[in-house]
Amino acid sequence: MQRRSMWLSKLATSPVLDVEHITSFDAFRSSKILGSGTSVPLNPRDFSIARASLAIPAGRIVLQRSFARHLEADMETPGAALVIPISPGMQADINARTLDNSTLALFRSNAPSRVVEPHANSYVLLGLHSAMRTRGWMDFERGVGFIRAAAPQMERLQRILLSMIRYASDCSDAKEFASLAKSMQETLLAALDGVLVQEESVRPRPRSFDQHCRLIARLDELIRENTAAPLYSDELARAVGTSVRTLQTATQAVHGMSLHQHLRLRRLWSTRCQLTIGLPGLTVQAVARANGFWHMGEFSRLYKATYGELPTETTARAARPIAGGSLPEDVFAVPSGLAAPVVPAWALPQHP
């Protein structure tokens, strides 16, 4: 965890990532994610700040190493903004509420704030164009809310944010990054939902199961009709004519899993089918990216956990000559070491 506070020193400006290191308070300017205010450094002779800024379709991510200060500001955002701790020793007070390494702050509209940072902190400022009031997050019109996260969910969120920024730092082709940006964003939204979705907001109402079944039938129909494109929760919700929050409730009620898990299994199955065909020149990376997986290490881990083999093992098997000209019976079989719910019924081949 300690290495996370050193990340900024290892990042480089790229066609998609802006990195800056500031050693003079006079040169310091706000990131504008939450407007601007008046900062008073607690140790002006030992001033330094570093930050990296990355634009995504839904907004902007700023990874920042701050400085010890008092800050008075009318925090403003046109949509929603989040403060997500990165350093394990995160310590700040916002309006006398403590923000530590297990707590996120969610801002909407404007929130007059007094902030005390007793020492330098590393955190992400995430500015979003939308107020994000249709996903089941803490719901309020304006102000600031604090959400305490369980360690596994917080660590996953931090890992995804840092992986996105590192990928952007290493990227030399802006077009390549643009082609993956929505997939990255969906991964980030899934991690945010894992932390921020309020249980009561997605709890099914009595006698709503039939309605949820109809929604999921329409959702799966849309997925089948658009097999060539990655699946994104916001776009699917609009196409179905409902909110992401309602789709989350429906998938939990019908399939016993979150919306993101449902969509991820769909994408994994699509990837497996394409890898099993084994077309000449088709690489695992190309197929994974076409199905919305941008982090290859994470993809390989998920693929093996679901199907009991690495994607490269699937392609190697597909490349071998097949006796009789047909696929072996066990190509689409659920590995015996996995529990039955890992691969739902729709992910199994339909035999006549």
pLDDT at 347 over 70: no
Q: What would the pLDDT profile of 204-254 be if each residue is shown by its tens digit?
A: 777 788 889 999 999 988 888 877 677 789 999 999 999 999 999 999 999
Question: What do you get for the CA distance between the two ends of the chain, in Å?
Answer: 53
**pLDDT over 70 for what percent of the chain?**
88
Q: Could you tell me which residue, 297 or 227, shows the higher pLDDT? A: 297
Which of residues 5 and 60 earns the better pLDDT score? 60
At residue 64, the 3 state secondary structure works out as strand
Q: How far is Cα of residue 100 from the mean position of the Cα atoms in its chain? A: 21
Q: Which token pair is 42?
A: 């607690």
Q: Is the pLDDT of residue 307 over 90?
A: yes
Q: Is the pLDDT of residue 125 over 90?
A: yes
* pLDDT reported for residue 326: 53
Q: Does domain 2-176 have CATH number 2.60.120.10?
A: yes
Cβ neighbours of residue 334 closer than 8 Å, sequence gap 6 or more:
340, 342, 343, 348
Neighbours of 314 (CB within 10 A): 22
pLDDT-based confidence at 322, cuts 50/70/90? low
| Mean pLDDT of the 83-99 span | 96
Cβ atoms of residues 145 and 106 within 8 Å: yes
Q: Judge contact between 28 and 180, C-beta under 8 A.
A: no
Return the SS3 of 65: strand
**Which of 8-12, 114-118, 336-340: highest mean pLDDT?**
114-118
Please work out, in degrees rounded to the nearest 5, the angle formed at the alpha carbon of residue 320 by the alpha carbons of 314 and 322: 105
Extents of the domains making up the chain: 2-176, 202-256, 276-352
